[in-house]
Structure 1
């Protein structure tokens, strides 16, 4: 089965993550785990995890 691709070559659907999942990942890094290790274990990009961390560093929530 083939996946439909948009003109940019990316899949047509985006994966959505719950607030609880994002918060859990950010808490693991805040507790001392390496960002790359947490990202790899959860199957996400380290850059995505970094974006989730930015609001928490400023004192806001990571909900989008």
Structure 2
């Protein structure tokens, strides 16, 4: 995947999450943790966690 350039000229790349780390975050949310709290711990957006749950 090509790197993106930010305003400051620094290169920015997308984070890649392993299937195991995705499953761990989803399990925490299903176990009763709030979606926003479960997403903040690994530094992901709550909307991304929601997408992982739907897949």
Normalized against structure 1, the TM-score is what?
A: 0.67
Considering Cα pairs closer than 8 Å and 6+ residues apart, tell me whether 1 or 2 has the greater RCO: 1
Over the residues paired in the alignment, what is the CA RMSD in angstroms? 2.0
Aligned match of 2:38? 38
In structure 1, stretches of 5+ residues that fail to align are: 56-64
SS at match of 1:42: coil
In structure 2, stretches of 5+ residues that fail to align are: none
Normalized against structure 2, the TM-score is what?
A: 0.77
In structure 2, C-alpha distance between the alignment counterparts of 1:32 and 1:12, rounded to whole Å: 34
After superposing on structure 2, the runs of 4+ consecutive aligned residues of structure 1 that deviate more than 6 Å are none
Aligned match of 1:18? 18
